[in-house]
Amino acid sequence: MSGPESLHVLDGIDLEIGKGEMLAIVGASGVGKSTFLHTLGGLERPTAGKVLYGGLDVYGLENDKIARFRNERVGFVFQFHHLLPEFTALENVMMPSLIRNSDRGEAAGTAATMLTEVGLGKRLHHRPGELSGGEQQRVAVARALVLNPDVVLADEPTGNLDTHTGEAVHELLTSLNKQKGTTFIIVTHNEKLALRADRVLRMVEGKLMPER
């Protein structure tokens, strides 16, 4: 990928990721890890190459169909949870369903089930400011998974949490990967989280290399 000044961020990446795999990508800051996730998730169009989901060429679609693809098939978890502060945990997790024009009652039921699965069944009506950092990140994970996406892209999901809380989120991500068979691609500096993955790749100057 290159920008207006022909700065190459990603360079010759050829990667196949299996369904249900938990893949960790590690590396120093500024080497292209987040750009890689954004490209995989339909957020940042590459200047060359393709992103294929089961044979579907994502960037061969029109922009509105890329947006629909993101909503229906990809979940995102970021270092900062990006929850809407004026809405409850339940309402935040309902958002992807409402964007999809699902029935509001159905969206609420699905969101409540997902929040229960991540251990927040008793916190449905709390706003983000009333939740701890770990609980807020669990809401973000529930929101990412509520539409049962094919893949969840997580960018430093524990980077803003203390060690104990981060470990709890590690356990949650690993458990959901095993239970649901959802593919997880996780960018992380956290070696403990990386060690939980099925495969670890290190990004160096826009290239991916096997770590283990």
Question: In the prediction, which pLDDT does 15 show?
Answer: 80
Position 11 confidence tier, pLDDT thresholds 50, 70, 90: low
Question: In the prediction, which pLDDT does 92 show?
Answer: 95
Beta 151-155 vs 22-26: how paired, if at all? Answer: unpaired
What pTM, to 2 d.p., does this model score? 0.83
The percentage of the chain sitting over the pLDDT mark of 70, rounded to a whole number, equals 92
Question: Residue 75's closest CA among 128, 136, 141, 158?
Answer: 141
Measured in whole angstroms, the distance separating CA 131 from the mean position of its chain's CA atoms is: 21
More confident residue, 104 or 100: 104
Domains and CATH numbers, the chain: 22-210 (3.40.50.300)
Taking residues 153-173, what's their average pLDDT?
81
| Three-state SS at 10 | coil
Phi, psi of 107, rounded to the nearest 5 degrees? -60, -40
Q: What is the per-residue pLDDT across 108-118, written as a single tens digit (0 to 9) for each?
A: 999 999 899 88
